[in-house]
Amino acid sequence: MGKTTHFGYKQVDVEKKQSLVKGVFDSVAGKYDLMNDVMSLGVHRLWKNYTIASSNVSNGDQVLDIAGGTGDLTIKYRKKVGPTGKVILSDINNSMLYEGRKNLLNHGVIDVDFVQANAESLPFKDNTFDCVSIAFGLRNVTDKDAALKQMCRVLKKGGTLLILEFSKVENQMLEKAYDFYSFNLIPKFGDFFANDEDSYQYLAESIRKHPNQETLKTMVLDAGFEFCEYHNLTGGIVALHKAIKA
């Protein structure tokens, strides 16, 4: 029997998950930003602003935005690093990179590099970046431990890792309301706005399969980071983990 992993609530062969996730994001890429606004009622913009404010990124820094997708974080990092800094937007999915290029051009941002890359095997040298960031992408990675080790490897000593991801809701009443919203409304929104109910059903399920706050913190420390803390946002619907490389 081959190794299996989760794809939402389904168990699939490990080697098949990447292509299944690719199919999801090929399908949703064109409506990705619209659906983020619809599903979060626009609050995702506040979560991302908080991430940028927590980043320690400054003029001249080198930043890697993993699973950068349509580039909304990349645009903000580009402003912070200034003319002497550099930002790379990487994503495993070519359809998302295509949308990212369009979005950055529409915002007048032309001095960003785009790299199609798997987070489990990043094509960058050791000790390259001052900051590595991944927002709403880690839960779709098949081997999260391998990806976290890669992020540690490419960071400079003293560099910062930022993981913005859906997490475990703190309040039981909020959790019940959030579950109802996730499984009864989000797939319907996906059907109405993007003509794709199944992909948004997967995205709702993938959130529940992602490690909770404390588990992810332990995974980050085990990957080689010296320090890790997390901050819950919107009652733990989302958490920002911030780690420093020794």
**b/e burial code for range 39-69 (CB count within 10 A of at least 16 → b):** beeeebeebbeebbeebebeeebbbbbbbbb
pLDDT for residue 22: 83
Structure pTM?
0.93
- Dump pLDDT digits (tens) for 55-114: 999 999 999 999 999 999 999 999 999 999 999 999 999 999 999 999 999 999 999 999
pLDDT, average across residues 209-234: 97
In this predicted structure, which of 3-17, 134-148, 183-197, 230-244 has the lowest mean pLDDT? 3-17
- Does an H or E element contain 89, and which? strand 86-91
pLDDT for residue 17: 85
Residue 5: which pLDDT band, with cuts at 50, 70 and 90? confident
**CA gap 23, 41 in Å, rounded:** 25
Is domain 4-171+199-245 given the CATH code 3.30.1380.10 in the classification?
Answer: no
- For the chain, which residues make up each domain, given as ranges? 4-171+199-245
- Dump pLDDT digits (tens) for 111-129: 999 999 999 999 999 999 9
Residue 2: which pLDDT band, with cuts at 50, 70 and 90? low
Task: For the chain, give the percent of residues with pLDDT over 70.
Answer: 99
pLDDT, average across residues 144-170: 97
**CA gap 239, 132 in Å, rounded:** 16
Residue 182: which pLDDT band, with cuts at 50, 70 and 90? very high
pLDDT, average across residues 146-151: 98
Residue 14: which pLDDT band, with cuts at 50, 70 and 90? confident
Report how far Cα 15 is from the mean position of its chain's Cα atoms: 21
Q: Which of 125, 139, 191 is nearest to 167 (CA)?
A: 139
pLDDT for residue 36: 87
pLDDT for residue 27: 85
pLDDT for residue 119: 97
pLDDT, average across residues 182-193: 90
Pairing of β 225-233 and β 155-166: unpaired
Residue 1 has pLDDT above 60, yes or no: no
Q: Which of 143, 59, 73, 142 is nearest to 109 (CA)?
A: 73
Q: Which of 2, 12, 3 is nearest to 206 (CA)?
A: 12
